[in-house]
Amino acid sequence: MLQTFTKRCFKWTQGILVVAALCTAQQGFAASDTGTKIGFVNFRKAVEESKIGKQEQASFEALQNQMESSLMEIQKQLNEITSKLSDDDYIDGLSPEAENEIKHKYRALNQELQLTQNQYVQTLQQANVKIIQMLQTEVTAAAQEIAKARGFDLIVNEEAAFFHKPSLDVSIQVIAQMDEKFARDQKKTSLKKK
């Protein structure tokens, strides 16, 4: 599940990565001449290892589990009716009205399952996009703080580069910055509740 979540994160950022890569390539010549300081962030690592990323992954997985259990309940009912409809002795013992009723219930449950699956997929996609956008914003804000503090002119998502020196990786610092903000936000939230 975590892999699916992070894969979706990367899909959303692909367009941004292309632009960032072009900017990096354009800046490459100027960087060597002017001493431009560039850093890289591993977005996946920031999502998987930051406290906010872990919290959002957990909430996404909880939503997904809740939806799956609901779907499993409908599927269970559908399987029970299917087994009854497959049992010739059971069907022979029913009145025509009862047989029509069970067939109608089967069709209704089957339709409900399909509608529910479609709704859940849409809900999960919307939740995923919202989480990705929020995490992108959090990583960007943390990267900006690190850039100010350490004098970087440019911090790019690692996926935008074919190569970079490991010394240019600021992922750990970005995660630490994200965790500090998360702690501050949690403290504010707990104070408001009191």
CA–CA gap between residue 42 and residue 6 (Å, rounded)? 12
In a domain, residue 180? The reply is: yes
Residue 88 vs residues 83, 97, 107, 168: alpha-carbon distances, Å: 10, 16, 19, 71
The pLDDT tens digits for 165-177 are: 899 999 999 999 9
Reported as a pLDDT band with limits 50, 70 and 90, residue 76 is: very high
CA–CA gap between residue 7 and residue 98 (Å, rounded)? 49
In a domain, residue 1? The reply is: no
Indicate whether 3 pLDDT > 60. Answer: no
In a domain, residue 65? The reply is: yes
What is the number of structural domains in the chain?
Answer: 1
In a domain, residue 4? The reply is: no
Reported as a pLDDT band with limits 50, 70 and 90, residue 7 is: low
CA–CA gap between residue 106 and residue 114 (Å, rounded)? 12
Mean pLDDT of all residues belonging to the chain: 84
Indicate whether 29 pLDDT > 80. Answer: no
CA–CA gap between residue 155 and residue 2 (Å, rounded)? 25
Pick the residue with more confidence: 6 or 81?
81
Cα–Cα nearest to 154, from 31, 47, 18: 31
Indicate whether 13 pLDDT > 70. Answer: no
CA–CA gap between residue 147 and residue 186 (Å, rounded)? 24
Q: What is the mean pLDDT of residues 35-42?
A: 91
Domain membership of residue 45 as a residue range: 14-19+35-193
In a domain, residue 98? The reply is: yes
Question: In 10 A of CB 164, how many CB atoms?
Answer: 15
The pLDDT tens digits for 107-151 are: 999 999 999 999 999 999 999 999 999 999 999 999 999 999 999
In a domain, residue 56? The reply is: yes
Pick the residue with more confidence: 75 or 6?
75
CA–CA gap between residue 132 and residue 7 (Å, rounded)? 11
Q: What is the mean pLDDT of residues 158-184?
A: 92
Reported as a pLDDT band with limits 50, 70 and 90, residue 192 is: confident
- pLDDT > 90: percent of the chain: 62
Residue 32 vs residues 17, 20, 24: alpha-carbon distances, Å: 22, 18, 12
In a domain, residue 25? The reply is: no
The enclosing domain of 134 has a CATH number of 3.30.910.20
In a domain, residue 24? The reply is: no
